[in-house]
Amino acid sequence: MATAKTSNPADLKAIFGLEPEAAITYLKSKGYAITWNWQEMRDQAHDQSFTVAKAMRLDLLSDIRGAVETALQEGQTLKQFIKELQPTLESQGWWGQQVIVDSQGVGELVQLGSPRRLKTIYQTNLQSAYMAGRKASMEETGDTHPYWRYVAILDGKTRPSHRALSGTVYRHDDPVWSAIYPPNGFNCRCRVTALSESAVKRRGLTIVSSQGQVSNETVETGVDKRTGEVRTAQVTLVHTTDTAGKPITFRTDPGFNHAPGTGLADMLKRKQASAA
């Protein structure tokens, strides 16, 4: 997983080889959640609700989500996404550093909209939507392509643990995918490809099992400035080795300990049936 380069929708489409319909279906199926801190909504909750920390009004959240949907449908680059959305957020007063008051009447100086935040919103939501659509497609071909290969973009900013996991092949039904299927962190660019048994043999790949390789850990994710509460989250650890055989641990980011798009394949089938 790396943050040096931001993929735009055209890049993502080329990488994953699918049209955006499934990705848009995933995004539009979500409800809304008002959150003060990103830690308030974790893991599989992201499949049910769209949220942006400290976007405390539904009309504001709706504008942001609409901009993400437009980016998917029209193939907007990050630059275009920011150009279109920034004036809307500025007009709504959701830009820069401001003191805002939470639901308990407590004021706090916080960072609202900024180019950096919009980059995270853009890349995380687009990646989640595309990967959810990709996962639904791969689940339908489990009989013919039962092996999934984890693939990281290998550049100078790739995390060592993601580099170490890149190329690892598990069966599609290995429980490890419920946690590590990307994106498994903010700005994640990793992906998964499906392989047939003949392709695995032809490439000389080794199928591994996560049994005995996986553990869970509770980590601190920050302190609530209003209450002093220490927030925690569970992350999944996969114990593997790098190319030199040195032990290394892959871990999901807090809040991303889940596979996006769980249940999307069934949703798409129902949608297709109703349209027939």
Strands 31-32 and 49-50, by their bridges, are parallel
What is the per-residue pLDDT across 190-246, written as a single tens digit (0 to 9) for each? 999 999 999 999 999 999 999 999 999 998 877 777 677 888 888 999 998 877 778
The pLDDT of residue 114: 93
For the chain, domain boundaries: 9-132, 145-275
What are the pLDDT digits (tens) for 2-60?
A: 333 444 554 454 444 444 778 888 888 888 777 767 656 555 666 777 888 878 888 89
CA distance linking residue 30 with residue 134, whole number of Å: 17
What is the pTM for the complete model shown?
0.78
Dihedral sign computed on CA atoms, order 9, 14, 15, 20: positive
pLDDT at 181: 93
Cα distance between residue 170 and residue 119, in whole Å: 32
